[in-house]
Structure 1
Amino acid sequence: MTKTVIFWRHGQTDFNVAGRFQGQSDVPLNDLGRAQAAETAQNLQHLHPELIVSSDLSRAAETADHLAELLDLEPVRDARLRETAFGDWEGSTRAEVAENWAEELAAWAAGADMSPPGGESRSQSGQRVAEAIVDLVYTTDAETIAIVAHGAVLRGAAEILLGLTGSGRLAVLGNCGHGEFGFTGENWVLRSWGTRPAR
């Protein structure tokens, strides 16, 4: 069994532009994000995924819909693919978070596996998404699967599946950036990472 799994981050949102923690807040794509999604869908359709699964948050769901429409597929929504929950930090910029949680923010920025107040850690969210992806791969006959989700959890899941120790070994995908994995039934092979639209 060899399968292709595409990891695709959603397009740009206004929170991305402002540098705000989005987490599981349901922030929609902005106009550029929609254009990125449409452009990237055109580039990805040649891979012919037979299954498209996205986070149920609208920025990922709308991104997935662009590819699903081109391929005449019904996308699947899966809440397990949501972004890391940033708890009390959601909606704030780093500068705003630093006003109340300077030490916690510094530890998080340095790569510590800590949970923001009311949120979840990198390892918790990465493991959640990695388990969801493994489950999807084993429970579908599709040979090519597109996973449409969020920057932090896609990186975290990728590092777990590749057996990379510690966080931050891979870069976070840019808006509408994508990577491609091969899964042999035993091993995950990274074929590409960080491909992004021309805009």
Structure 2
Amino acid sequence: MVAALILLRHGRTEFNAEGRFQGQIDVPLDSLGTAQVRAVGAHLAAAQPITRIVSSDLTRARQTADALGAAAGVEVELDERLREITVGEWEGLTRAEVKETWPAELQDWLDGVDMRPPGGESRRESAARVHAAVEDLVIRTPDEGVLAVVAHGAVIRGAAELLLGFEDSAKGTLGVLTNATYALLTPGRHGWILRQWGGGAEAVAAAQG
């Protein structure tokens, strides 16, 4: 069994700054996001003996993983199963723009209803997808290793809730990690133990000036 599991969210993008639904659109980090991931990469590499890094193949996650890999001296692997939830026709739009065409659907989304945006996935579906990927990666990581998984806000939350045994990942019991912060979990006698949620925030804040 791994000694620890890190779930790291990517740094900020222009879409994050503008409040747009990102989904699986391949948006790169902006200049602030680049500074954030350098800071959290250095922080994490100093705090944990990371032995394996696996990232979503979307650019924003890959850039974040590369910063961590450079700091930790670990090569990055890519896994498309770790992509963000796809929100279909909402991708690239702000909430105000979505509301113009899908007001009822957007309200359901904001109220936490486990619905599918048009052409997209539900929260439960995306959480199950990433949870299965993380469990597979854990199994395939050497014992006592420290595995860092770099992915996206919505799916990290959903997968983490399933890892912790919450019955319904669609409820959003945990908050979404802010850009370039992480969750730290360790194995316990009866399952995963959440040690940190939002780790690295101080390093990220310092990078933002």
**TM-score normalised by structure 2 residue count:** 0.92
Residue 165 of structure 1: which of 159, 164, 167 is its match? Answer: 167
CA distance in 2, matches of 1:11, 1:35: 8
* Partner secondary structure for residue 102 of structure 2: helix
Residue type at the aligned position of 2:11: G
SS class of match (1:85)? coil
Partner letter of residue 174 of structure 2?
L
- The alignment covers a number of residue pairs equal to 199
Secondary structure of the structure 2 residue equivalent to 1:62: helix
Tell me by how many angstroms 1:3 deviates: 2.3
2:196 corresponds to: 192
Task: Give the match for residue 57 of structure 1.
Answer: 58
Matches within 5 A, 1:1-199: 1-46=1-46, 47-141=48-142, 143-166=145-168, 167-184=171-188, 187-195=191-199, 196=201, 197-198=204-205, 199=208
Give the deviation of 1:186 after TM superposition.
Answer: 5.2
Please report how far the alpha carbon of residue 94 of structure 1 lies from its aligned counterpart in structure 2 after TM superposition: 0.4
- Kept in 1: contact 2:141–2:147 (CA 8 A): no
The answer for unaligned runs of 5 or more in structure 1 is none
Alpha-carbon contact 1:2-1:184 (below 8 Å) kept: no
Tell me the alpha carbon deviations over residues 112-139 of structure 1, each in whole angstroms, 9 at most, x when there is no partner. 1111000000000001000000000001
Please provide the CA RMSD for this pair.
Answer: 1.2
Q: Work out the percentage of aligned pairs sharing the same amino acid.
A: 50
Distance 1:185 1:128, change over 3 A: farther
- Cα drift, residue 71 of structure 1: 2.1
Q: CA deviation at 1:140?
A: 1.5
Deviation string, structure 1 residues 13-70 (Cα, Å, up to 9, x no partner): 0000100000000000000000000000010002021000000000000000011112
Query: Relative to structure 1, is the Cα distance of residues 2 and 137 closer, same or farther in structure 2, using a 3 angstrom cutoff?
Result: closer
Would you identify which runs of 4 or more consecutive aligned residues in structure 1 move more than 4 Å?
Answer: none
Distance 1:161 1:40 in 2: 23
* Gaps in structure 2 of 5+ consecutive residues: none
Cα deviation, residue 185, structure 1? 7.6
